[in-house]
Amino acid sequence: MPASKLISLVFVLASLIFSTLTFADCSTHQQTISQAQAAEAKSLTELLSQWNLAYYEQGISLVNDDVYDQTLKRFLALQSCFPQLQLPSLTPQQSHKVKHPLVQTGLNKVYSSQELAKWLALHQHKELWVQPKADGVAVSLVYLNGELTQAISRGNGELGEDWTEKVKKLPNIPQQINTNLPQLVLQGELVWRLEKHIQAKQDSQGARSQIAGFMQRQQTNLEEAKQVEIYIWDWPNSDLTMQAQVRQLTDWGFTRSQGLTQPVKSLNDVKHWQNQWYTQPLFMATDGVVIRQQERPKAENWQAKPPDWAIAWKHPAQQAVTRVSKIVYTVGRTGRITPILELEPFELDQRTLSRTSLGSLNKLKQLDLQTGDLVTIQLAGLTIPQLKEVLVRSLPRIKANHPPENTFHFLSCLKASDIQNSPYPIGCKQQYLARLTWLSSKQGLAMQGVGESTWEALLEAGLLVDLTNWINLTQEQLEKVKGIGIKRSRLLVRNFKLAASQPLETWLIALGMPPAGNNGLFDNGEITNWQNLSNKSLEKWQLRKGVGIKRAKDLQVFFNHPEIKKQTSFLAEMGVEGF
């Protein structure tokens, strides 16, 4: 990460006070808590050092800005407890470094519209401009008498790498410009060109790493060079207005800067352009917008630290760093165990989130995830929070106590009494209710107004014996159930009777029959009843398209399972056709 970026973050974050256990004053904690904090602080130091080293030595960004900023924030909060932990010096080595003719200042950042509103209020009488904040690598271009003579990487703002020879081979950067100025210094961003890139939908696609890696490589080809664009965001020592600057830059051949500097007077103006550049196609990745003041000190007096006349407003975070506070397990109707991570609340896409599903018990075991671990979360499909990676593992590690995978299966928890008899009653109750919820859903018997809350109320009232006895429930029984009442009890009785008239195949799906292939359940001429299916051999099941040996066994077991047969006998007594 650039030194100026870290310097600005230190200024902003060092004054923050955190109220969580992790960020509290460690002197007030018990020894075990302080040991855990020390281990985390050490891990964060190593992680940040690794990221910084990769950026400086290889020009590769191993992590996006959201994760870096949030990880640094946690480190700075812990560092007050463990001052002996320091990040390595971020100043680039002096060899092969050249001095910027005009300093690159860096930027302070805000992450919410409320923070930005405060900054705008302090600058309300100034002429302001907004630009997209490019996600690339910063560079200074120096032209003498119209000829490109130097290209300098941002470095620490005062000293950077000499990129001149590399930049002179980039076809999209003007090598000669028509000007009478003896010296011209432009500050901008080298970016990796993306086609119709929409930041809100596509994130940054590793664009910064691509351009940074390209600039570090000794050998590159012309096709790669064509992918590099220059976006000029400042002409530091110009006396022209921002709009006049852009017109002149366009005349000189810096066409990518056209339309990307806009006047603003209010928070709504900034929001408009931020939304425009975040949700509409651009040729480059961005990670926010920058608001600049027209009136500024002379560029010769700038310093390599964030000024008060410019601010960056970051796009909504695409990834968040948070802590696993608890791991719980849910059991679906087929017996699949799904681990759910309960997390310290965090914000993504302007939503506060606090949990995510891991999908499978196997994934949890592979990740060796435990309570207290620091993880990164991203939005899958822009809506669903999804674990991306484990950043820091909590210490000490404890032996995991996951429920065994074979505890539940597609024929477990078929009746209410199974719940109390299960070694994991909570999971069995979840599976039992999931079965009933599926049974009443559109995929099953399509009972209008009957969902999980209805079944849970009936279960708590002691009215559910198994998956089918609800057919016999009377209005008087239902009226006594908490939360149902007279009107709803009538509707339920009506829906239960309608369900009893559903055809056999619909009932079989509702009861949880395994998928029986791609064709109709019965062959031409077969008698469409339960007994016919119960008598089928494995060989006959496998003759069905889409049914292999495992599915055939599952079907045979289902149709001959004692509890399923008991419940289907009850349905036969109730006059349900086909049983």
**71-122, pLDDT tens digit by residue?**
998 998 888 888 888 887 655 444 478 999 999 999 999 988 999 999 999 9
Domain final position from 312, 340, 370: 312
pLDDT of the residue at 91: 52
CATH code of the domain containing 386: 2.40.50.140
pLDDT per residue as tens digits for the range 338-394: 999 999 999 887 789 999 999 999 999 999 999 999 999 988 766 789 999 999 999
Within-domain flag for 412: no
Quick check: 133 and 153 in contact, CB under 8 A? Answer: no
pLDDT of 292 above 50: yes
pLDDT per residue as tens digits for the range 497-526: 999 899 999 999 999 999 998 877 887 767
pLDDT of the residue at 30: 45
Higher confidence at residue 58 or residue 405? 405
Chain mean pLDDT for the chain: 88
Q: Which residue has the tokens 């790498």?
A: 161
Domain final position from 79, 110, 131: 79
Catalytic residue among 5, 133, 166, 429: 133
CATH code of the domain containing 202: 3.30.470.30
pLDDT per residue as tens digits for the range 255-265: 999 999 999 99
pLDDT of the residue at 205: 67
* Lowest-confidence segment of 30-34, 190-194, 505-509 by average pLDDT: 30-34
| Beta bridge pairs of residue 260 | none
Q: Which residue has the tokens 């009215």?
A: 463
pLDDT of 305 above 50: yes
133 a catalytic residue: yes
**Same domain? 430 vs 541:** yes
**Same domain? 151 vs 245:** yes
pLDDT of the residue at 3: 37
**Same domain? 306 vs 343:** no
Confidence of residue 19 (pLDDT cuts 50, 70, 90): very low
Within-domain flag for 406: no
Within-domain flag for 512: yes
Within-domain flag for 87: no
Within-domain flag for 270: yes
**Same domain? 25 vs 54:** yes
**Same domain? 452 vs 506:** yes
pLDDT of the residue at 577: 86
Quick check: 236 and 183 in contact, CB under 8 A? Answer: no
Confidence of residue 404 (pLDDT cuts 50, 70, 90): confident
| Beta bridge pairs of residue 314 | 288
Within-domain flag for 90: no
pTM of the complete model beyond 0.95: no
Higher confidence at residue 557 or residue 62? 557
pLDDT per residue as tens digits for the range 409-418: 999 999 999 9
Confidence of residue 22 (pLDDT cuts 50, 70, 90): very low
For residue 73 the two structure tokens come to 């924030």
Higher confidence at residue 461 or residue 95? 461
pLDDT of 211 above 50: yes
Domain extent for 307: 97-312
Confidence of residue 61 (pLDDT cuts 50, 70, 90): confident
Of 235, 224, 266, nearest to 113 by C-alpha is 266
pLDDT of the residue at 11: 28
pLDDT of 172 above 80: yes
**Same domain? 379 vs 253:** no
d(CA 548, CA 558): 15
Quick check: 230 and 171 in contact, CB under 8 A? Answer: no
**Same domain? 204 vs 286:** yes
**Same domain? 422 vs 561:** yes
SS3 assignment, position 228: strand
| Helical segments of 385-479, H only | 417-421, 425-440, 452-460, 475-479
Q: Is 308 exposed, middle or buried (0-12, 13-18, 19+ CB in 10 A)?
A: exposed
**Same domain? 69 vs 141:** no
Quick check: 341 and 358 in contact, CB under 8 A? Answer: yes
pLDDT of the residue at 572: 92
What mean pLDDT comes out for the span 554-566? Answer: 95
Quick check: 433 and 75 in contact, CB under 8 A? Answer: no
pLDDT of 1 above 50: no
**Same domain? 510 vs 544:** yes
Within-domain flag for 510: yes
**Same domain? 183 vs 296:** yes
What mean pLDDT comes out for the span 136-152? Answer: 96
Within-domain flag for 403: no
Looking at the 3D structure of the chain, how many domains does it have? 4
E-assigned strands of 381-527? 384-392
Domain final position from 79, 109, 144: 79
**Same domain? 373 vs 471:** no
pLDDT of the residue at 58: 61
d(CA 6, CA 452): 50
pLDDT of 277 above 90: yes
